[in-house]
Amino acid sequence: MTTADCPLCIGDGGRVVLRTASWRLIHAGEAAWPGFYRLVWNTHVAELSDLRAVDRAACLDAVCAIESAMRRHLSPTKMNLASLGNQVPHLHWHLVARFDWDTHFPAPLWAAPVRQPAMARLADLQARLPALEDDLRSRAFA
Amino acid sequence: MTTADCPLCIGDGGRVVLRTASWRLIHAGEAAWPGFYRLVWNTHVAELSDLRAVDRAACLDAVCAIESAMRRHLSPTKMNLASLGNQVPHLHWHLVARFDWDTHFPAPLWAAPVRQPAMARLADLQARLPALEDDLRSRAFA
């Protein structure tokens, strides 16, 4: 896949919460998963180990800082972090706040659902996003 | 979950490839996924962001070094990295070599399979593990 074919090179990949010279944070915009963000590395590289050490550290420091903010604002049962990219091999990290009431818990979000969506809880979660995103935007990311 | 209840506190979690003071690398031992390892943090913490910065850097440097070795020895189509822990909230990283011929590609390995297992290719992959593991054991991890 060349950069001209890559959806994460051609577009942002979703609603941009925060953008730095090296990466951007987008909200995944999946209705069933309000607490689902993606950190997308701006340059087209496939694997974490394709980054120089300094860039890798910056990437993972950002993932960790975003995880911390998500924990503080969303109080998830568990955080899920994943860099898969089988469909779009352009480095991006999935950051997902998981809850013991969500449709898939404790299964991975990519597995089959185990219960119906809890609409009131999803709405409550959605309502917490602006404060989380304001907090993230207020930080001095490199 | 207290440490007394945690399978990754009580046991190693699988065949140990490599052990340091801070973490161990285990082979996941799932027949359908020869190229599936887990880096297990030795101390019982749930989230990456529970680690001190120095430990976090050591953990992620190790994940990246193991990813690099897996790429060199196994030549995967894509590497998948994930810290989920919904069932066992003791920090561990899944490192999975994915191939365009595997049962799930390009779907996540936790989704439904899309094809039958390629037995000869799985056997070939299995045969590459000793060299990979020898290489990993020869490194000076902190």
Instruction: Give the minimum alpha-carbon distance from A67 to chain B in angstroms, rounded to a whole number.
Output: 7
Do residues A24 and A12 make contact, with C-beta atoms less than 8 angstroms apart? yes
pLDDT given at position A1: 61
Rounded CA separation B120/B99 (Å) = 13
**Max Cα-Cα span within chain A:** 44
Note whether A42 contacts B: Cβ–Cβ < 8 A.
Answer: no
Return the amino acid letter for A67: E
Instruction: Give the minimum alpha-carbon distance from B84 to chain A in angstroms, rounded to a whole number.
Output: 4
Rounded CA separation B96/A123 (Å) = 35
What count of other Cβ atoms lies within 10 Å of the Cβ of residue A16?
Answer: 12
Minimum Cα–Cα distance from A112: chain B residue = B111
With a cut of 70, say whether residue A93 has pLDDT above it. Answer: yes
pLDDT given at position B1: 61
Do residues B100 and B59 make contact, with C-beta atoms less than 8 angstroms apart? no
Instruction: Give residue-wise pLDDT tens across range A45-62.
Output: 999 999 999 999 999 999
Does this model's pTM top 0.95? My answer is yes
Looking at residues B96-121, what average pLDDT do you find?
97
H-run or E-run covering A87:
none
ipTM score? 0.97
pLDDT given at position A140: 81
pLDDT given at position A42: 96
Query: If contacts are CB pairs under 8 Å, which of residues 79-98 in chain A contact chain B?
Result: 79-87, 89, 98
Q: Which domains does chain A have, with CATH numbers?
A: 7-134 (3.30.428.10)
Give contacts of B87 with chain A, Cβ < 8 Å.
106
Give contacts of A68 with chain B, Cβ < 8 Å.
49
Instruction: Give the minimum alpha-carbon distance from B16 to chain A in angstroms, rounded to a whole number.
Output: 23
The DSSP letter of residue B107 is S
Are A68 and B60 an interchain contact pair (Cβ–Cβ within 8 Å)?
Answer: no
Instruction: Answer whether the bond into residue A76 is a cis peptide, omega within 30°.
Output: no
Extract the tokens encoding A53. 């050490």
Looking at residues B118-124, what average pLDDT do you find?
97
